[in-house]
Amino acid sequence: MWRTALLGSVATAVLLIACGGGGNADGLVTIHRLDLEDAELNPLYFLNPPPENDYPGVVATVNKVAITGDELASRQVMLELGRQQVLEEWVDVFPLEIVDVQLEKVESEDPLQKLIDDELERQAVVRFGLLPSYEEAVEYTRGLEKKTKRALERAPPDEREAHEEALRIMGLLKDDWAADSALVQRYQQGMGLAKLRQQECRWEVKTVDYVNASAGHDCSEFLRQERERAEIVYYVRWAD
């Protein structure tokens, strides 16, 4: 269980150089996906994408809210990190059928469309009044800090050292996480999103074989409706 707690608290990612492209007749800029397969992971790049990233400053807008090039690059980094985690950790724990399903999910995701879906959900949380109070988020943050530190204490020394380094880079090895307003606000958004998915999305259990299954919220229909009502403007297109 300590592994689950740590993975839920530690988000590390990397970023290499993005290959930009020229404009098209429709005014969209052609961009390429990042080549991260052989990248040396650097958690700092997730928090502060390097200046070498040459995606446009804004790649799309959702109801006039900008999706930035840095966000698009970071999303690809998160996907690659997730893919590597599945290959490195899941294969020793789960049946190959489940590993294959998770790999397919990660590898087939369009990072730009996922960012748009995330923004649609964020706006829906506010519209439906599902965002918890700041005080509630503070209490949640304090509870998560306690759970994370208890999990660190129980972790094997080598794994504890790696996770502590990730937490240090993210500024979370310190005490009193709730004193960081930006962190509290991120958890506040996450709490609101959980409420939205419980309220608006369908709970789905997917059977992999006779024994194994995966479960989660299917928000595809909700997001389809949100896209129909939203004003989505693209400024880029994928080269592939």
SS3 for 145-194 is HHHHHHHHHHCCHHHHHHHHHHHHHCCCCCCCHHHCHHHHHHHHHHHHHH
pLDDT at 155: 87
Its pTM stands at 0.76
pLDDT at 101: 72
- Per mean pLDDT, which range of 22-36, 71-85, 92-106 is the poorest? 92-106
Q: Are 39 and 14 in contact (CB under 8 A)?
A: yes
Q: Which residue has the higher pLDDT, 66 or 93?
A: 66
Q: Is the pLDDT confidence value at 160 over 80?
A: yes
Q: Are 124 and 200 in contact (CB under 8 A)?
A: yes
Q: How large is the average pLDDT for residues 64-90?
A: 84
Q: Is the pLDDT confidence value at 83 over 70?
A: yes
Residue tagged 């509630």 (tokens):
136
Q: Is the pLDDT confidence value at 52 over 80?
A: no
Q: Is the pLDDT confidence value at 68 over 80?
A: yes
pLDDT band at residue 26 under the 50/70/90 scheme: confident
Q: Which of 64, 60, 19, 13 is nearest to 41 (CA)?
A: 13
Q: Is the pLDDT confidence value at 195 over 90?
A: yes
Residue extents of the structural domains in the chain: 2-238
Q: Which of 72, 75, 97 is nearest to 86 (CA)?
A: 97
